[in-house]
Structure 1
Amino acid sequence: MIQGRVHRTGLEWLSSLPACLLLLAVVLFSTSSDIHNQMLQAGEQLWSGYYKLRMDPEVPECNPNRDVDAEVARELALAPPANDPMAALLGEYDKDPAEVRVAVERALADCRAAHVGYQQLQGSLTPGVRIYRSLELFVADLISFGLTAQRYLLVILVMLCAVTATLTRHHIAMRAMETRLDHVVSHTLQTIANAMLFASSVIFRQSSLASSTTVSAGELLLHNFWITGFACLTLASLFRLFRAPAGLKAGGNPAQALLAVPLYTVMCLISGTYFALIGHSSGIGIYLGKMMELSDMFLNVGLYVWVGMMLKQTRVATLVFNVFRPWRMPPELLAVVAVLVAAVPTAYTGASGIFVIAAGAVIYSELRAAGARRHLALAATAMSGSLGVVLRPCLLVVVIAYLNREVTTDELFAWGGWVFVLTATLFAAVALVCNRQSPLNLAPAAEAFPASVRALRPLAPYLAVGFAVVLFYRYALNVAMDEFSAPRLLPVIMLAILLYEHISLRKGKGGASGELDHPGLEQSVRRATNDTTAEIGALLLLLGLSVSLGGVIERAHIMDAFPQAFDSAWTAMLLMVLILVVLGMIMDAFGAVILVTATVAGIAYASGIHPIHFWMVTLVAFELGYLSPPVALNHLLTRQVVGEAEVLAAQQEPGNFYQRHERIIMPLIAMGMALVLVAFGPLLFYAM
């Protein structure tokens, strides 16, 4: 799980304020291109030919007052050398005076037209044009700077947030640190792993400088950023090693202590050791450097985390549950509704884990308040983000389409809708048929429906605020809300919603719901960014080391042990399913997609598996992996948001084997059946 928070004082702005500014800069840079396009169109509408006015016109060098007769005489007098065979061949000894005059007159006409055009442009450069042009060129320079700065922003953001996650003990591990031995083992291995990262980055820098290829100043600066960041990360883990938090139990179990080691540390130790043994110590640094090739994607991940944390600060999740509360649904049906409703925000927050962190606590508490047993509430919370990853505009699908030319986002999202219907149906069947322990009695529609309608009213302003932002982008900036624009629109929407809450609740409109003590805009953004820094540090560092671990798998040629193509698509699909589920267990989704693209995907295509079918299977297999032991990342995140005490209480509840492990088995049954149907069902139609 997330290792656990330490108390953060007002000094948290030392990390979260720079992170907030970096994330705002990403939004600004990505939006500036839209603004610039509109400025160019507006300039052309205000001043015809504005594109010619963007730069000061240059005075033509030709003379518009030349004498034609003198110029013709000069041209005729210019005879080529007598020993020039090419001139003789072309007949240049015998120039026709009439043709020379026509050429001179044309050149003079062109010259005079150029001077007239110059005078017209000079006359068009009014003070208004100059002011507008200065502003437009500033935005253009801002875009250019933003494109160049993306890589540096990503490195600074990753390193800043990784140090914060280390100091606040917020890295993702199998279990929290509870004993002194847990603390010593975890932070000792973290320090070793961070030192490996530092050394690999230094070696990578030196090998780059020693190579025959010239290293640009920008690349050298990037190397220095990585080295400085990993040096700070090593010092942070060393500081934590000697500053144990209060409240740790004495003693500890060595095997359990190893489970408290962060997952990124385990990946780093594995990959670092492998690269050192094969004499390629710069390997980790090289694969981390590959993150820069997809810097915009990883920055979007950071933005989605920020969106999720801002969503957590709003009343949206609670207000949505208020709509369904009047129906007095049995716990199993409410769990189904919660998972289905969560699919939409999951698609907009980019990954299932982000949504679990953002809204998992609300989902769990609402289900428990409705009478759900702990295991059912934990299972629904862990699955709350699993169904929406195939829906538009999920970032993971966009990354797949970006890395694989065989598929498009439209194709993937179209089939993703059908996969969503299938997984939702299977989860509902498992919850309501196989797992139901309560009678399926709902409140009378005459009573529940009006109450639900009344509960929709507090949601209306939130919908209006989001719709207003979307309309502004659509008509002011000509940007439609889709999978490509969502990363820059969603932070603006969430900031607008937080501003609305600040204004409305401060004025007393939240009095009926007892929320007059709303912390305000600054506190809400601060809390969201505080959570974001730790989450970005944990997730992006884990993602980066997943890429490095994928490099180990790639360089070890593990996939070479398998045929590069299978005669049977059925056999190939069986192998693909096993590999993809295992990757989902041990790797972050984005790192796994990069690895699968480089290794497994080609084998699947060559074996007759349709690319769209293969990637639908990949997405479902990954989600099953996130719910499967031994790692079960979504369960680890659920443990983080609901608290260790709730999970321990669930584990101590009596019952048969299924009842005591319902939170694990129930999602596995639903997603397992979905994977089997998605993987092998379509083969019946095109692989027979």
Structure 2
Amino acid sequence: MFLKGLNRSGREWFSSLPACLLLLAVVLFSTSSDIHNQMLRGGEQLFGGYYKLRTDPVRPECDPTRDIDAAVAAELAAEADADDPLADLLGSVDKDPAEVRRSVERSVADCQRSHASYVSLQGQLTPALRAYRAVELFVADVIAFGLESQRYILVILVMLCAVSATLTRHHIAMRAMETRLDYRVSFGLQALANAMLLGSSVIFRQSSLAAEVTMASDALLLHNLWVAGFAALTLASLYRLMRIPDDLAAGGQLNQALLAVPLYTVMCLISGSYFALIGHASGIGIYLGKMMELADMFLNVGLYVWVGMMLKQTRLATLVFNVFRPWRLPPEMLAVVAVLVAAVPTAYTGASGIFVIAAGAVIYSELRAAGARRQLALAATAMSGSLGVVLRPCLLVVVIAYLNREVTTDELFGWGIWVFVLTAAMFSLVALSVNRQGRFELAPASTALPATIRALGSLLPYALVITAVVVFYRFALDVTMDEFSAPRLLPVIMLAILLYEHFSLRRKEDGSCGELNHQGLERSVRSATNDTTAEIGALLLLLGLSVSIGGVIERSHVMAAFPQSFDSAWSAMLLMVVILVVLGMIMDAFGAVILVTATVATIAYGSGIHPVHFWMVTLVAFELGYLSPPVALNHLLTRQVVGEAEVAAAQREGGTFYQRHERIIMPLVAMGLSLLLVAFVPLLFYA
């Protein structure tokens, strides 16, 4: 796919191609486990007793023709000749000849059965079985290799994509670089932070070597990969620092330039400085190493980003909007529809930020095309992923259940449906009442309904493609679509959709039926992977440094200043809400969940707050934090995907105070009301 043509950019060859191969390897390794399970079942059905035939049977060493009488006589004679120094003191007990005979007979019978089993198994080792076994054992080796390689794949993927994000200026910051001062300050501090990461990794490596007499080769390789990766990242930032683009304006202000520093850099400088001051220079390296304990989770995040970028290459989002377009919905109502519909794919992409990165540009452009104000379109885009994080099969909920034995995914997803209904109602109420700037006049049903049915017909082939993949996995591999299988099924589904579009739209082009801008399968996957590399680098590096910030909070014992439990669940909940929203403002979701599990959760449980209730509050509070200044991560991601020019144009729009700041205020009001209701209403029934 990527070998076509020799005029590809260096980024595609040295970043996108390896990233694509790594992501495909993750999908292959995870799918091979399902294939292997089916092969074991198939082997048992085709060859009875296949589990015993997975290795060549070994001939028993015992003698099946052993003379029983001679064996009994020999054992009795051996007893008589035995010289036991304790016999005189304890008294000797003669063996019963009948008992000795029965023992020898049982031994000979067992030996004969072992030989009979050996002969039977030898007879079943047909050429067909040997061939089948060779394939099955090869798949088993692939699975073992894949499980052992997860940590290495994650490190290589993070470092590779982080370098790509640095070279393409794609890291997440409060504002974009506009002046030369912005550029110098941003990349100067990035180089300092990356050097700090490199130094911490080197010190961690040396201290690990000194602490262990013989370090395992896999652990040493992991250390070396971190060191090599951060060395490359440092060089990339220094390279960028020395090559200032010509399109940047001269001058600039220092306070504005500091806002252009990536968030991961700020987190690194804070955590690195703290660990250096307490004499624990390897601290960042240690906490980044903790990512390896949840390597499969972070790899799933990368897969979800890739899925989102492939979704952006399809016509699926546009076709969904076509279903509602004939009704000529007012912009406010269309924003509600967009946010509600986006909840489902959000649940399958793991976190709201991932979905904003994946589909935010499409949602924004479709709302603008329908006549929505820029402020309204930006608000809906930023909030498009906020409602679906409580729905099955969201990866974040799976991580919560994995880290906390007090809750299960079924409990969380069961109550998550009601939380979704509540947040959807609050957003609809705010959008359709406070935000309404005109009369709601829908198109006549006689006109809109036929067009909607035709639009649904365009979605039917996509539904069939998705169903075909899900049914194949269900019956061929015995894998159902759930929160555990979604990360490996979704990439296959998206590739199948791109393959369908490749052939169906190409036929339309040959028949002069339009769609002349369709890129084709190869270019679509290549474009999606190009976008994926930068986004994975920015997101996973930010996530990793969020874990490091969590380590600072944990080691500084800030939470020790709070009581370990409260007499009143109401007082405890008030404190929980404040803490959780603040964490949502400054940390990525997955890093924040790890920190909350280790600190805040125990206080909540000890204060009488039900675990399921607490985690529902946590999810809503995080989403409010991602929408809240000063950081407002979802707004930063929205700006990153829609472009700085659109955000600047929205800020220049006039109107009332609310209309000028609608993109910030509307999500805060909707999610703020939802959080208050989710946090305190259930306490009326059990506190």
TM-score bracket for this pair, using the shorter chain length = over 0.9
**CA 210–10 in structure 1, closer or farther in 2 if over 3 Å, else same:** closer
Match of 1:228 in 2: 228
**CA 213–604 in structure 1, closer or farther in 2 if over 3 Å, else same:** farther
Match of 2:508 in 1: 508
For each residue in 1:532-583, what CA deviation from the matched residue of structure 2 results, as whole angstroms up to 9, or x when unmatched? 1101100000000000000000000000111111111111111111111111
Structure 1 stretch 98-107 or stretch 365-374: which is displaced more? 98-107
SS at match of 2:508: coil
Separation of aligned partners in 1, 2:142 and 2:366: 46
Match of 1:287 in 2: 287
Q: Tell me the CA shift for residue 514 of structure 1.
A: 2.8
Separation of aligned partners in 2, 1:218 and 1:686: 50
SS at match of 1:508: helix
Q: Tell me the CA shift for residue 8 of structure 1.
A: 8.8
Separation of aligned partners in 2, 1:301 and 1:663: 27
* Aligned counterparts, 1:214-363, within 5 A: 214-363=214-363
SS at match of 2:66: coil
Match of 2:86 in 1: 85
- Is the CA contact 1:151–1:295 (under 8 Å) kept in the aligned structure 2? yes
Match of 1:193 in 2: 193
- Is the CA contact 1:383–1:667 (under 8 Å) kept in the aligned structure 2? yes
Separation of aligned partners in 2, 1:513 and 1:545: 50
**CA 426–355 in structure 1, closer or farther in 2 if over 3 Å, else same:** same
Match of 1:684 in 2: 684
For each residue in 1:495-554, what CA deviation from the matched residue of structure 2 results, as whole angstroms up to 9, or x when unmatched? 110111111111117978731332111111111111111011000000000000000000
**CA 358–87 in structure 1, closer or farther in 2 if over 3 Å, else same:** farther
Separation of aligned partners in 2, 1:429 and 1:635: 21
- Is the CA contact 1:189–1:261 (under 8 Å) kept in the aligned structure 2? yes
**CA 173–70 in structure 1, closer or farther in 2 if over 3 Å, else same:** same
Separation of aligned partners in 2, 1:512 and 1:342: 33
**CA 10–273 in structure 1, closer or farther in 2 if over 3 Å, else same:** closer
Separation of aligned partners in 2, 1:429 and 1:488: 37
Separation of aligned partners in 2, 1:676 and 1:194: 40
- Is the CA contact 1:331–1:438 (under 8 Å) kept in the aligned structure 2? no
Q: Does 1:560 align with 2:560?
A: yes
Match of 1:60 in 2: 60
Structure 1 stretch 59-68 or stretch 469-478: which is displaced more? 59-68
**CA 319–219 in structure 1, closer or farther in 2 if over 3 Å, else same:** same
- Is the CA contact 1:66–1:108 (under 8 Å) kept in the aligned structure 2? yes
Q: Tell me the CA shift for residue 104 of structure 1.
A: 2.0
Q: Tell me the CA shift for residue 89 of structure 1.
A: 5.0
**CA 513–371 in structure 1, closer or farther in 2 if over 3 Å, else same:** farther
Q: Does 1:370 align with 2:376?
A: no
* Aligned counterparts, 1:403-414, within 5 A: 403-414=403-414
- Is the CA contact 1:352–1:388 (under 8 Å) kept in the aligned structure 2? yes
Separation of aligned partners in 2, 1:150 and 1:46: 33
Q: Tell me the CA shift for residue 477 of structure 1.
A: 0.7
- Is the CA contact 1:202–1:227 (under 8 Å) kept in the aligned structure 2? yes
- Is the CA contact 1:177–1:183 (under 8 Å) kept in the aligned structure 2? yes
1:459 maps to a residue whose letter is: L
Separation of aligned partners in 2, 1:346 and 1:117: 55
1:82 maps to a residue whose letter is: D
Match of 2:471 in 1: 471
Unpaired segments ≥5 residues, structure 2: 1-6
TM-score (norm: length of structure 1): 0.97
Separation of aligned partners in 2, 1:384 and 1:46: 50
Match of 1:523 in 2: 523
Separation of aligned partners in 1, 2:296 and 2:189: 31
For each residue in 1:395-450, what CA deviation from the matched residue of structure 2 results, as whole angstroms up to 9, or x when unmatched? 00100110011111111111111011011111111111111002111011121111
Separation of aligned partners in 1, 2:349 and 2:612: 23
Separation of aligned partners in 1, 2:52 and 2:647: 67
**CA 331–465 in structure 1, closer or farther in 2 if over 3 Å, else same:** same
Q: Tell me the CA shift for residue 677 of structure 1.
A: 0.6
Q: Tell me the CA shift for residue 646 of structure 1.
A: 1.3
1:85 maps to a residue whose letter is: L
For each residue in 1:274-320, what CA deviation from the matched residue of structure 2 results, as whole angstroms up to 9, or x when unmatched? 00000000000000000011111001000100100000000000000
Structure 1 stretch 478-487 or stretch 67-76: which is displaced more? 67-76
SS at match of 1:129: helix
Separation of aligned partners in 2, 1:122 and 1:362: 63
* Aligned counterparts, 1:438-449, within 5 A: 438-449=438-449
Separation of aligned partners in 2, 1:90 and 1:124: 54
**CA 191–62 in structure 1, closer or farther in 2 if over 3 Å, else same:** same
Alignment length (residue pairs) = 680
Match of 1:497 in 2: 497
Separation of aligned partners in 1, 2:513 and 2:390: 35
- Is the CA contact 1:505–1:511 (under 8 Å) kept in the aligned structure 2? no
Separation of aligned partners in 1, 2:99 and 2:409: 61
Match of 1:3 in 2: none
Match of 1:532 in 2: 532
Structure 1 stretch 650-659 or stretch 396-405: which is displaced more? 650-659
Match of 1:586 in 2: 586
1:162 maps to a residue whose letter is: A
Q: Tell me the CA shift for residue 90 of structure 1.
A: 7.9
Unpaired segments ≥5 residues, structure 1: 1-6
* Aligned counterparts, 1:124-135, within 5 A: 124-135=124-135
Q: Tell me the CA shift for residue 351 of structure 1.
A: 1.1
For each residue in 1:55-86, what CA deviation from the matched residue of structure 2 results, as whole angstroms up to 9, or x when unmatched? 00001101122222322222122125333426
Separation of aligned partners in 1, 2:513 and 2:683: 53
For each residue in 1:448-499, what CA deviation from the matched residue of structure 2 results, as whole angstroms up to 9, or x when unmatched? 1111010011111111111111111111111110001100100110011011
SS at match of 1:507: helix
Separation of aligned partners in 2, 1:570 and 1:95: 76
**CA 87–471 in structure 1, closer or farther in 2 if over 3 Å, else same:** farther
Identity of aligned residues (%): 78
Separation of aligned partners in 1, 2:142 and 2:108: 42
Separation of aligned partners in 2, 1:482 and 1:104: 56
For each residue in 1:249-277, what CA deviation from the matched residue of structure 2 results, as whole angstroms up to 9, or x when unmatched? 11111011000100000000000000000
Q: Tell me the CA shift for residue 46 of structure 1.
A: 0.5
Separation of aligned partners in 1, 2:294 and 2:256: 36
Q: Tell me the CA shift for residue 638 of structure 1.
A: 1.2
SS at match of 1:440: coil
Separation of aligned partners in 2, 1:298 and 1:88: 70
SS at match of 2:174: coil
1:230 maps to a residue whose letter is: F
- Is the CA contact 2:508–2:514 (under 8 Å) kept in the aligned structure 1? no
Match of 1:50 in 2: 50
Structure 1 stretch 103-112 or stretch 178-187: which is displaced more? 103-112
2:184 maps to a residue whose letter is: V
1:534 maps to a residue whose letter is: A
Separation of aligned partners in 2, 1:674 and 1:573: 15
Separation of aligned partners in 1, 2:507 and 2:87: 90
SS at match of 1:281: coil
Separation of aligned partners in 1, 2:679 and 2:100: 77
Separation of aligned partners in 2, 1:661 and 1:604: 35
Q: Tell me the CA shift for residue 91 of structure 1.
A: 4.5
Separation of aligned partners in 2, 1:430 and 1:509: 44
- Is the CA contact 1:584–1:624 (under 8 Å) kept in the aligned structure 2? yes
2:641 maps to a residue whose letter is: V
Q: Tell me the CA shift for residue 102 of structure 1.
A: 2.5
Structure 1 stretch 13-22 or stretch 554-563: which is displaced more? 13-22
Match of 1:122 in 2: 122
Separation of aligned partners in 2, 1:364 and 1:111: 76
- Is the CA contact 2:423–2:671 (under 8 Å) kept in the aligned structure 1? yes
